[in-house]
Structure 1
Amino acid sequence: MPPDSGSPLLDSRDRMITVFVAAAGLFLVALDFSINVSLPAMRDSLGVSLISVQGIIIFYHASRSGLGPAAGGLGDAFGLRRVFLWGVVAYTAAVGLIALQDSLGAVVALRILQGVGAAILFTTGPALVVRAFGPKRRGTALGVTLAAVSAGQLTATLGGGYLSETIGWEAIFYARVPIGVAVLAAGLFVLSRDPASGDRRFDWSGAIVLYGALFAFVSAISFARLDGLMSGLVIALAVLTALLFAGFKFLQKRVKRPMLPRALWTTQGFAVGGISNLLLFMASFLTWFLFPFFITDVLGRDVMVVGSMLAVVAGASTIGSIAGGWLADRIGDRVVTASGAGITALGLVWISGLNAESSLPGIAMRVGLAGVGFGLHQAAVYSLAMRKTQPEHAGAGSAVLAVAQTLGTPLSISFGMVIFTWREDDAIDAGVLATDAFVGAFHDAYLAAAVIAVLAGLVVMTVRRQRV
């Protein structure tokens, strides 16, 4: 068997099945982007305020962030396939039950369970691929796997609004149940079984403390945007976050098998890959929450146009992911990662120049360029971080990257809205018309995001110049 053939227990057919099942799990998670276009319908149906309904987003991301490291550690200790299947069950059960609820409290509680399932799938899916493929072919395999995320976003963007308007918001949840059942069946019957593991130690206390720390941290970021940095809730969550992180650090020094192995952080490309992943998510997620308001408030277009433009972003990202993985295997992870970040930055700068006279084809080209850059970066940065990672640490490594992405979402929203609100308020106070004030603030927020994208590319330049 060739030295780079990956797991000695898997043949080529089994490796392709691994990519397919892992990609299906990520596709299932990415379908949650449908909630972005369905929040107004959920607010009206549940009879709650716009502020209250955002708890559906906040607590989902908080739970998903918190469980990521534990999911990776569990996968490394008890088997990635087994934990992946737990994630499918948790996610599918949660979305099925959410569709039956008629109160915000019940929906939010089940969204926490859904976040647990999403964290497991987004952690164990790429880790399964890392274990199946040798270093020289991981880029292509990860690129194809991660393209499923963009494909899921594309499907959710086009289908979410339609289902909500024609059937009801419940449809975006129960429509995922048969997909979850199909993924579970594939995982049970065709996904190769986990290799025998002699070491099943797991740091349960550390997992609980870190879950609490990350949950509190994401909640603090999210509520700071709504209530202000100096609100009592935000201060309390910040203090709790600091205490729990200190407790986690204390516990990790006293266990024989840390949840985040020390060897992981010294693996070539891993640390800078994680940082670059966080930064580019901070820069890119602006398009998913600020850009739609430009389409509706400045251009006066409807939700279908918003969905079409976001579908362009998702479709371009899908192409970029597939190409990025293939290129990473051939010209090097660092080059493709930095190039993807640079293309994303160019796209964001181009988007910043939009105004009330912009045409839809012109807008599509701009967001499409940013989407291609994001896809290139995603596939290559995963390859950069995971190419040299040992198979026994695949779960923990994938968990760090997944948490970086999840943290990037609320950070992007908070950072982008601080700049946008500041610039818009200043313009309105100066007597600028509301539409012009929006366009100016939009311009500044996107330029700031482009700077962050540039930093995401520059940080990987610290990696030693060689083909990894």
Structure 2
Amino acid sequence: MSDNSIGSQTVELDKTSARKVTMTLWLVATGFFMQTLDTTIVNTALPSIARSLGEAPLHMQSVVIAYSLTMALVIPASGFLADRFGTRRVFLAAIIIFTVGSLMCANSRALWQLVSARVVQGVGGAMLLPVGRLAILRNFPRERYLPALSSLAVLGLVGPLLGPTLGGWLTDVASWHWIFLINVPIGAIGCIGCFFFMIGKPQPIVTRFDFKGYILLVLAMLSLTIALDGLAELGLQRASVLVLLILAFAFLVSYALHSTDNPASLLPLTLLKIPTFKIGLLGNLFARIGGGAMPYLLPLFLQVALGYTPFHAGLMMLPVAAAGIASKRVIVAMITAYGYRTVLVSNTVLAGLSMASFAFVDPQQPLWVRLLQLAFFGAVNSNQFTAMNALTLKDLDTVGASSGNSLFSLTQMLSMSLGVTVAGAMLAMFGNVFSKHLQPQALPVFHSTFVCVGLITMSSAFIFAQLASDTRGIDARKTNAVED
């Protein structure tokens, strides 16, 4: 064979590899778009789903909790699965599971069926972003890695932007079933593309999975979530809730003891020795309770208390997303100029006040005031997430980046689940309080809930106040590594 023919084959091989790398990015982007879209598209349709299934609109939080909690439970195992079976196989399995779960959701005829189907969806969704990001990390040249993550970040913003409006529109013009059926053709295309183009073989050396630590974490998160949701939706007695809270604490302590000085632990707690990571992680856990509650509360509030249609409620979420996107560049300049402590303490208070301000909303309020209020909340909430992301990951070295990112992702999803759980519990509690005082209207119930959510968010400012005053600097690679 001549040198020319060998050279032409090499060029052709390079072109084929480059095409597969590019297709891998598109496939990961498609999976991430499905996951972020489904996180927000359901919220607008909850009242319609409740009527269809014969449930109370204020008792539908389990539909959201089942998805986000399942993601929190599965995320810690996603890296091991990708190493053991290869990113290609695991990502393909994730798309299939997510698509099957979507079909199950659309065919649900009772609340328990829908919650079960959302668990299946959550298993698939939990692996889409972490495994997809891992595929990009392992196969993209260094010079293309940051632009690839930036592309994912854009889609991470597009999903929440379209989700509420698309969910409301589909519910109005067709039925709530279509908010799940829309995933089926996207999933089918993703499966075909993944089968032919996705890159990612199993790793030659796979570290042993920490099953003991994983089980302890799962039991702790399940006990905590069931306890908080027990009084609101499950009808558990106070004694049962107390027992579950004690069990959750016991499992967390057991994991801490198991992880101490254990280099093979699932999520090494030695990372908490890094001050910025520790403060950022704890601040995220509490501040994101409000951030997780508001996407659930706002569409419900607009429909149940103010009489909006699903489509109009979805449209009202556009200022939130648009202001969040527009404020992304501002927060970086603010951190550079004033430092993390000043920015996070002040912005956390503003975020809490913006949430509590919805207690002043009434049907006679001018529309432009409501739009400005939603836009202001969207801006400060987005700034909060960006600043917390950057702070938490900024000082992780190369060795700790993977474990730190996994622990951070778990905290994000757990906090979102807790946010919806807390919001549902407060709605139930204030509903009982106002019904006893002959005020069954939904408006005071929501007003009281917004105030409490705002106070919880503002309380996390005390955590960020522990930062050193000169803490500055943003690593764009790590900031983009975890999407909101």
Q: Which TM-score bucket, shorter chain as reference?
A: 0.7 to 0.9
Alignment pair present for 1:98 and 2:78: no
Matched residues in 2 for 1:102 and 1:324: separation?
46
Matched residues in 2 for 1:128 and 1:455: separation?
38
Distance 1:454 1:235, change over 3 A: closer
Alignment pair present for 1:25 and 2:40: no
Work out which of the residue numbers 460, 473, 477 in structure 2 matches 1:467: 473
Distance 1:414 1:373, change over 3 A: same
Work out which of the residue numbers 210, 219, 229 in structure 2 matches 1:212: 219
Contact residue 45 and residue 310 of structure 2 kept, 8 A: no
Contact residue 358 and residue 447 of structure 2 kept, 8 A: no
Matched residues in 1 for 2:236 and 2:109: separation?
32
Aligned residue identity for 1:317 = G
Alignment pair present for 1:145 and 2:134: no
Alignment pair present for 1:174 and 2:181: yes
Alignment pair present for 1:119 and 2:126: yes
Distance 1:183 1:446, change over 3 A: same
Alignment pair present for 1:198 and 2:205: yes
Contact residue 146 and residue 379 of structure 1 kept, 8 A: no
Distance 1:401 1:137, change over 3 A: farther
Residue of structure 1 in register with 2:69 after alignment: 62
SS of the equivalent of 1:216 reads helix
Shift of 1:55: 3.5
Residue of structure 2 in register with 1:89 after alignment: 96
Shift of 1:177: 2.0
Matched residues in 1 for 2:322 and 2:336: separation?
23
Residue of structure 2 in register with 1:399 after alignment: 406
Aligned residue identity for 2:97 = A
SS of the equivalent of 1:385 reads helix
Percent of residue pairs bearing the same amino acid type = 22
Matched residues in 2 for 1:452 and 1:163: separation?
38
Contact residue 284 and residue 449 of structure 1 kept, 8 A: no
Matched residues in 2 for 1:295 and 1:333: separation?
37
Structure 1 runs not aligned, ≥5 long: 1-10
SS of the equivalent of 2:231 reads helix
Matched residues in 1 for 2:330 and 2:147: separation?
8
Aligned residue identity for 2:200 = R
Residue of structure 1 in register with 2:374 after alignment: 367
Residue of structure 2 in register with 1:3 after alignment: none
Superposition CA RMSD, Å: 4.4
Matched residues in 2 for 1:431 and 1:306: separation?
28
Shift of 1:295: 3.0
1:408-423 equivalences under 5 Å are 408-416=415-423
Shift of 1:314: 2.4
Identify which range, 241-250 or 149-158, moves more after superposition: 241-250
SS of the equivalent of 2:316 reads helix
Work out which of the residue numbers 222, 226, 248 in structure 1 matches 2:229: 222
Give TM-score scaled by structure 2 length. Answer: 0.75
Matched residues in 2 for 1:292 and 1:163: separation?
15
Residue of structure 2 in register with 1:304 after alignment: 311
Shift of 1:437: 4.2
Aligned residue identity for 2:273 = T
Shift of 1:258: 1.0
Work out which of the residue numbers 100, 104, 110 in structure 1 matches 2:117: 110
Alignment pair present for 1:279 and 2:275: no
Contact residue 206 and residue 251 of structure 1 kept, 8 A: yes
TM-superposition CA deviations, 1:372-415 (whole Å, max 9, x none) = 22223323432332344345554432332222222323433455
Matched residues in 2 for 1:329 and 1:13: separation?
39
Distance 1:186 1:411, change over 3 A: same
Matched residues in 1 for 2:46 and 2:307: separation?
20
Alignment pair present for 1:448 and 2:451: no
Aligned residue identity for 1:36 = N
Residue of structure 2 in register with 1:334 after alignment: 340
Contact residue 86 and residue 202 of structure 2 kept, 8 A: yes
Give TM-score scaled by structure 1 length. Answer: 0.77
Matched residues in 1 for 2:459 and 2:430: separation?
18
Residue of structure 1 in register with 2:384 after alignment: 377
SS of the equivalent of 2:379 reads helix
TM-superposition CA deviations, 1:396-437 (whole Å, max 9, x none) = 323322222223234334555666777787788789895884
Matched residues in 2 for 1:13 and 1:269: separation?
40
Alignment pair present for 1:157 and 2:154: no
Matched residues in 2 for 1:420 and 1:94: separation?
28
1:422-441 equivalences under 5 Å are 437=444, 441=448
